[in-house]
Structure 1
Amino acid sequence: MGDWEWPLILFTILGQIAIGIILMLWWLDRKGNHLDSQFFKQGVYVSGALLMVALLASLFHLGHPEAAYRALSHLGSSWLSREILLFLLTFLAWIYLFLLSRHLTGSRVLGSSTSTTTTAETAAGGHLTGRRSLGLGITALLGLMGIVSSAMIYVLPRVPAWNNVGPVLFFLLTTGLLGALCTLVLGQKSLIATQKKFLLQFALGCTIAGLLTFSIYASMLSGSVEGTASLNFLLNSPLFWIRALLGWLTPLLLLVSILKNPQADKATLILTVTLLASLGEVLGRALFYLSATGIQITALF
């Protein structure tokens, strides 16, 4: 069995939340350009902070962090090299979003100080909004490619529990679930009702997909001795059942309740769902590493 890999747990989970927030911002923006400038700025700041912490955490997994740049020389053959490059490009794209958020906020404040808006100001605002959507889309695309590269590192023939589509789906579902929920938390005062409903439905879909994906994944593990050992470890671990309760069942019930009851205290419930789902994903990622039979994850540098 594997070990608790806290640097990797933090890197993957926090990085996926960061990309998930940017992805949700892009999707909301392209659906009608109704993103408040302050909300956009807040989302960019939070996603950037999470991304920086994730990248810092990843360095603690390396034996020689100062030599990480050498991995870039193996782009043709190494998913790790591609992961490093794509996350660096994602961070550079985020810097563009950061600079753009400052311009958008400044232009909004400037426009609010006058009673009329000139044609030039309107054109400038529309140009900045277009750049915002493009910047969000590019950053989200690079981030998603980085997440897929991260998952592909674990698709290894010598580890039957990982040698399938499971790692890719798990990583992407975490991105969607926690990205949508964290965007909801950040946008409680800024998002309109239809935007909140979309994010709630998206989070619910990811939760249901997570349950179905694990069910299929579990059935695939029974095809080998090592896979069966991994499955037995999961099903016999109290952590797995805590993960199922906190990360799947409870969020599923709460999300359905929020969507069905418009009068509910949504702010409190959404925060509760986000915290439970986040804890569930952390436990799920820990179990992902712990249940790997026949491999010991070690530093590559």
Structure 2
Amino acid sequence: MHDLPLVIFTILSQLVIGGFVTLWWLDRKKSPISRQSGLMISISLVVLGAISVIISLLHLGHPFEAYRAILNIGVSWLSREVTFYGIFVGLSVLYTWFWLKDEAGKRGLIGGIASAIGVIAIFSSAKIYMIPAIPAWNSVTTLFSFFLTSLILGPLFVGAFLAIRSELSVNISGISITALIFAAIVMIVYFSSLQGGLPQAVEAARLTTHQLLFWIRLFTFVIAFAILTFCFKNQHIQNKKIYSLVFVILFVSEFLARFQFYETAIHL
């Protein structure tokens, strides 16, 4: 449970970045998002971003000295994560301000810059864990899984919000289904690589699959995929209840997967 703050931080930060990029993309596509809805979504993402930062500090022995992390940006992926995610949160506040002022041009520019910074932040976050000392983490699947969490949760968060506001004009189901298919492929590759890796990697795979959490995660993943596929084929039934339900199911699924990511890691 010592790593719970990191579980929450990585999940929330990736959700926030994915949601931000989705909102910016929909706004740039001139989707019919009202100023009020855009502002509310943007504010909610800023709040979640701030919460994720606060929670991440709970993992530190000296939270009030967290600012020192940026001092090693030239050599430390942790420093880069802190720096880039901090810049992203700051820019997201400015982006929210331009929603408030209804300045689409400035909003689009700042949103584009923040989206790029957010991508770098996720990359930096994943690189922290891609270390030889923990074979189960030292793989490109770690990088893919972090980005896929963002792609799975972010669009659904925004989609559910817009569906509640009756302003969803884009078929979010297609985006989510694609992300889930890639996530399934990454999951298969991940466990295959563990089974063919070092003894510590094999043991990590065994520990993961022998826990009830793994099967709950797998069940929630499959259920969400089935619901989204049904919605994609029957677009007339897409509504706020469906998107909200699927978002909650997948949030639980991703949370359990990330929890096991930390709990079953075995050092050399």
TM-score, normalised with respect to structure 1: 0.85
Mapping 1:221-232, distance limit 5 Å: 221-222=194-195, 223-232=197-206
Q: Tell me, yes or no, if the aligned pair for 1:7 and 1:57 is still in contact at 8 Å.
A: yes
Unmatched tracts of structure 2, length 5 or more:
none
Structure 2 equivalent of residue 299 of structure 1: none
Mapping 1:1-301, distance limit 5 Å: 3=1, 5-32=3-30, 34-104=32-102, 128-188=103-163, 189-193=165-169, 195=170, 197=171, 199-222=172-195, 223-246=197-220, 248-264=221-237, 266-294=239-267
Distance 1:27 1:190 in 2: 18
Q: Which amino acid aligns with 2:209?
A: L
Residues 165-220 of structure 1, C-alpha deviations (whole Å, 9 max, x = no match)? 12211111010110011011110134343x1x1x2211111111111101011111
The Cα shift of 1:262 comes to 2.9
Distance 2:228 2:77 in 1: 36
Q: Which amino acid aligns with 1:102?
A: L
The Cα shift of 1:35 comes to 2.9
Q: SS in structure 1 opposite 2:101?
A: helix
Distance 1:234 1:74 in 2: 34
Distance 1:43 1:80 in 2: 28
Structure 2 equivalent of residue 107 of structure 1: none
Q: Which amino acid aligns with 2:143?
A: V
Distance 2:37 2:239 in 1: 19
Give structure 1 regions of 4+ aligned residues with deviation exceeding 6 angstroms.
Answer: none
Distance 2:166 2:39 in 1: 12
* % identical aligned pairs: 30
Q: SS in structure 2 opposite 1:10?
A: helix
The Cα shift of 1:267 comes to 1.9
Q: Tell me, yes or no, if the aligned pair for 2:135 and 2:267 is still in contact at 8 Å.
A: no
Distance 1:160 1:144 in 2: 25
Q: Which amino acid aligns with 1:286?
A: F
Q: Which amino acid aligns with 2:167?
A: L
Unmatched tracts of structure 1, length 5 or more:
105-127, 296-301
Q: SS in structure 1 opposite 2:129?
A: coil
The Cα shift of 1:57 comes to 0.2
> RMSD of the TM alignment (CA)?
1.4
Q: Tell me, yes or no, if the aligned pair for 2:2 and 2:59 is still in contact at 8 Å.
A: no
TM-score, normalised with respect to structure 2: 0.95
Q: Tell me, yes or no, if the aligned pair for 1:33 and 1:129 is still in contact at 8 Å.
A: no
Rg: which structure is higher? 1
Larger mean Cα displacement after TM superposition, 43-52 or 29-38? 29-38
The Cα shift of 1:266 comes to 2.4
Q: Tell me, yes or no, if the aligned pair for 1:4 and 1:290 is still in contact at 8 Å.
A: no
Q: SS in structure 2 opposite 1:91?
A: helix
Q: Which amino acid aligns with 1:207?
A: L
